[in-house]
């Protein structure tokens, strides 16, 4: 938990968030500025700043996040039509919020690159 981190504060209900899924390791909520009809953010409960900060111990967590993404794709009815998972890593990757998160985008044809 980082007191400065807006995603940690959403997890802890200190800030509002439209949470659509949670379990003991992962939380998912709607992006506040959606770039597609379905735009969710899937994040670990544990504060990990970027994908570059994960260790071998996080291998199962990363797999779990992708499994949750697939479950949510079904729940939000984009599993058959298709969807995109995006991780922006670090400054040059375009990351703005430094709590590891994966975007799930779908519900319309997406451009070749997000
Ligand atoms: P990134 O550029 O990968 O770091 O993306 C951060 C994402 O977080 C952006 O798509 C923002 O719209 C989203 N975001 C920022 N603040 C909030 C918030 N309070 N609730 C939901 N999504 C947010």
Domain presence at residue 114? no
Please provide the average confidence, as pLDDT, over all residues in the chain. Answer: 96
Domain presence at residue 111? no
Measured in Å, residue 95 CA sits from the centre of ligand 1 at 9
83 vs 47: CA distance, rounded Å: 26
pTM, to two decimals: 0.97
pLDDT at 3: 73
How many domains does the structure of the chain reveal? 1
Any catalytic annotation for residue 47?
A: no
Domain presence at residue 43? yes
- Tell me phi and psi for residue 57, to 5 degrees: -65, -15
Domain presence at residue 79? yes
Measured in Å, residue 81 CA sits from the centre of ligand 1 at 24
Edge to edge, the sheet with strand 102-106 lists 19-22, 26-30, 38-44, 102-106, 83-86
Q: For residue 63, what is the domain's CATH number? A: 3.30.428.10
Answer yes or no: is the C-beta of 110 below 6 A from any ligand 1 atom: no
pLDDT tens-digit map of 3-54? 799 999 999 999 999 999 999 999 999 999 999 999 999 999 999 999 999 9
Question: How are beta strands 102-106 and 83-86 bridged, if at all?
Answer: antiparallel
Catalytic residue among 39, 47, 99, 101: 101
């Amino acid at each position: 938990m980082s007191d400065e981190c807006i995603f940690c504060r959403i997890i802890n209900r200190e800030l509002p968030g439209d949470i659509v899924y949670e379990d003991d390791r992962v939380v998912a909520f709607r992006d506040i500025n959606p770039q597609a009809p379905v735009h969710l953010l899937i994040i670990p409960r544990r504060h990990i700043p970027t994908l570059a900060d994960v260790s071998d111990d996080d291998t199962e967590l990363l797999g779990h996040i992708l499994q949750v993404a697939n479950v949510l794709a079904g729940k939000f009815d984009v599993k058959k039509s298709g969807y995109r998972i995006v991780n922006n890593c670090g400054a040059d990757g375009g990351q703005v919020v430094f709590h590891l998160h994966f975007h799930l985008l779908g519900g319309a044809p997406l451009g070749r690159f997000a």
